[in-house]
């Protein structure tokens, strides 16, 4: 990938280093939590409100569980005027890189919406999401508080993507999914959830299917949307075959089975094979209409 000469998005917030929010995400008003990278047994159901889409590695399970279920109140996370982007050189690079990817997704999806490629979009207009970067903990607008262990996520309540830039290091070191395009896939996947939010895709459910199955359909669609973006950005960002391998490596690394789930009924994001396949489907075809994971009635054929 080449990003030097590319636009940086201004729909970006540096929320700094957060502390003191109690580490509890969701809480009141949270209907369910659908993570991108499955963590066992933490699907919370009940009440009203937002769905949160996570990309959280199971290696961070204990932190995640704390983030989901940990004690503490619903207090605002205090960021104290610090900057998450200047914490380290790696973070600085990660912030800059993320802004480039975000800007590229803005261009691609604005065009696709204007062309009416995705039915259901409000008046064919793409509304840009904001990327909020943070260190340690952050307060969201509608999805409670989150800590780094939750991994990157999208909060439909405020239309924002949340990312602790150190997650890119987790990908490289813990998930063994290195590479800039692997990182780009993370942003593009969360943007995919934003697209779903705009077109109402997340409100679908197939009769008789479990919530986990619906979750898998939603996550695979977000992977496919990420692929659609990747193809559209190929020329501008000089995306190579090597880059594609990086993204597929990441998609493989965060498959539910790769993360250690043996029971398929517990899958919330899809297997490695499925995630790679749907990303490729988007990347190869470049058409968001091919990403309709709800069109295949037979869940086993996804």
Among 18, 24, 52, 53, binds Zn ion (CB under 5 A): 53
Encoded one letter per residue, x for contact with Zn ion by CB under 5 A and - for no contact, window 189-228 reads ------------------------------x--x------
**What's the rounded Cα separation, in Å, for the pair 240 and 242?**
5
36 binds Zn ion (CB under 5 A): yes
Determine the Cα angle at 222 with ends 251 and 201, to 5°. 160
- Please say which residue, 1 or 155, places its beta carbon nearer to Zn ion: 155
Helix (H) or strand (E) holding 213: helix 211-233
Phi/psi at 133 (nearest 5 deg)? -100, 150
- φ, ψ (nearest 5 deg) of residue 215: -60, -45
Measured from the CB atom, the residue of 222 and 259 that comes closer to Zn ion is 222
Piece of 11-19, 24-32, 48-56, 234-242 that binds Zn ion (CB under 5 A) = 48-56
Please answer whether residues 225 and 192 qualify as being in contact, where contact means their C-beta atoms are separated by less than 8 angstroms. Answer: yes
Which residue, 113 or 225, has its beta carbon nearer to Zn ion? 225
CB of 147 to Zn ion, least distance (A): 18
- Nearest distance from C-beta of residue 202 to Zn ion, angstroms: 10
Stretch that binds Zn ion, among 41-49, 53-61, 159-167, 273-281 (CB under 5 A): 53-61
Q: Work out how close the CB of 203 gets to Zn ion at its nearest, in angstroms, rounded to a whole number.
A: 16
- Is 239 a residue that touches Zn ion (CB under 5 A)? no
Total of residues contacting Zn ion (CB under 5 A): 4
Pairing of strands 160-163, 153-155: antiparallel
Considering the complex, state which of residue 226 and residue 239 has its C-beta at the smaller distance from Zn ion: 226
Contact between 288 and Zn ion per CB under 5 A: no
CA proximity to 55, closest of 181, 146, 180:
146
The one segment of 45-53, 61-69, 161-169, 244-252 that binds Zn ion by CB under 5 A: 45-53
Question: What's the min distance (Å) between Cβ of 217 and Zn ion?
Answer: 11
The burial of 276, by beta-carbon neighbours within 10 Å (0-12 exposed, 13-18 middle, 19 or more buried), is given as buried
Q: How far apart are CA 274 and CA 255, in angstroms?
A: 8
| DSSP codes of every residue in 67-93 | HHH--S--PPPB-TT--STTS-HHHHH
Interface positions with Zn ion (CB under 5 A) = 36, 53, 219, 222
């Amino acid at each position: 990938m080449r990003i030097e000469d590319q636009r940086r998005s201004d729909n970006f917030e540096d929320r700094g280093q957060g502390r003191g929010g109690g580490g509890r995400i969701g809480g009141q008003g949270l209907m369910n939590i659908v993570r991108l990278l499955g963590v066992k047994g933490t699907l919370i159901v009940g009440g009203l409100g937002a769905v949160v889409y996570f990309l959280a590695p199971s290696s961070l399970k204990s932190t995640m569980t704390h983030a989901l279920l940990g004690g503490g109140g619903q207090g605002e996370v205090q960021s104290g005027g610090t900057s998450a982007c200047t914490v380290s050189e790696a973070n600085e690079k990660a912030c800059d890189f993320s802004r480039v990817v975000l800007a590229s997704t803005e261009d691609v999806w604005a065009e696709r919406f204007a062309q009416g490629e995705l039915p259901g979009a409000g008046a064919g207009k793409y509304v840009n999401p904001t990327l909020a970067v943070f260190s340690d903990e952050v307060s969201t607008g509608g999805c409670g508080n989150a800590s780094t262990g939750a991994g990157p996520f999208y909060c439909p309540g405020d239309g924002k993507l949340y990312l602790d830039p150190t997650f890119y290091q987790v990908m490289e070191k813990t998930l063994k999914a290195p590479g800039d395009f692997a990182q780009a896939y993370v942003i593009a996947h969360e943007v995919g959830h934003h697209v779903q939010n705009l077109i109402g895709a997340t409100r679908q459910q197939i009769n008789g299917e479990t919530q986990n199955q619906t979750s898998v359909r939603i996550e695979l669609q977000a992977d496919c949307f990420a692929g659609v973006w990747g193809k559209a950005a190929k020329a501008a960002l000089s995306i190579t075959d090597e880059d594609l391998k990086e993204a597929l490596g990441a998609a493989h690394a965060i498959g539910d089975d790769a993360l250690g789930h043996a029971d398929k009924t517990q899958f919330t994001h899809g297997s490695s094979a499925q995630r790679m396949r749907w990303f490729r489907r988007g990347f190869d075809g470049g058409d968001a209409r091919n990403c309709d994971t709800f069109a295949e009635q037979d869940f086993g054929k996804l």
